Copies of this chain bind each other. A is one copy, B any other.
Amino acid sequence: MDEMIKPLPRDRKPRRRPRTPNPEVRSRLLVAAGELINEEGMPQLRVDRIAERAGLSVGTFYLYFDGKADLFANLVVELTGRLRRRLRSAYEQGTTTAERLERALDAYLDFVESNEKGFVYFRDSGTVHTTVGSLNAWAFGQYAEDLRPLLEEGMERGEILREDPELVAQALLGLMQHLAGFWVENRDHISRSDVKRMLVAVGTRSLQP
């Protein structure tokens, strides 16, 4: 990860830092927090329980993170990187633009399914203002950066509609995120296959040259 994204600072005393930060300890704290969010949701998240789950002390937690907001921003950055790698690898498989996009859609829905509570909370966390602006807009920008070259290639090959690739990327990503969120909040009457079929139908049609 080449960026250190931090929530914008509030007035507080500078905190202690580990002399030699241990990436394994940091990662254990992030994994523990991710698990607890998915089991119980973000509002229930408590620092002492994260430390307990990670088998570390609360003091150690505060050597690595300023608190819940800082930890959450770091977790989002980590999960964004992970999803980005999965989407990129989906783009590399398949030959036509349509095939690649369908594989990416599957990878996205898999990810949402295994991080459901965190996903919903994150979708609603645009108000976490960090050194890179709103985290949500930042993550969209990251995904759009990877999707753009794929779309440009499809446009050059005449496979898809010639339009501003930045806007097309945002349109596809926005559509995918919104319907995925609607799905996880309406599982009682909407299935993953309903949402996937709909996204493929709408996506395919909307990209017609």
Contact = CB atoms under 8 A, between A and B. Distances in A.
Nearest to A170: B182
A175 B171 contact: yes
- Give the bracket for the number of chain A residues in contact with chain B: 35 or more
Contact of A206 (B174, B182, B206): B206
Task: Identify which of A173, A179, A202, A203 gathers the most chain B CB atoms within 10 Å of its CB.
Answer: A202
A167 interface: yes
Interface string A132-150: 0010110010000000000
Contacts of A140: 182
Interface in A72-90: none
A208 B203 CA distance: 11
Say what secondary structure dominates the interface of chain A. helix
B163 A171 contact: no
A188 interface: no
A206 B168 CA distance: 13
Interface in A185-209: 185, 190, 194-195, 198-199, 201-203, 205-208
Given A205-B205, A206-B206, A190 B167 contact: yes
B161 A205 contact: yes
Nearest to A199: B171
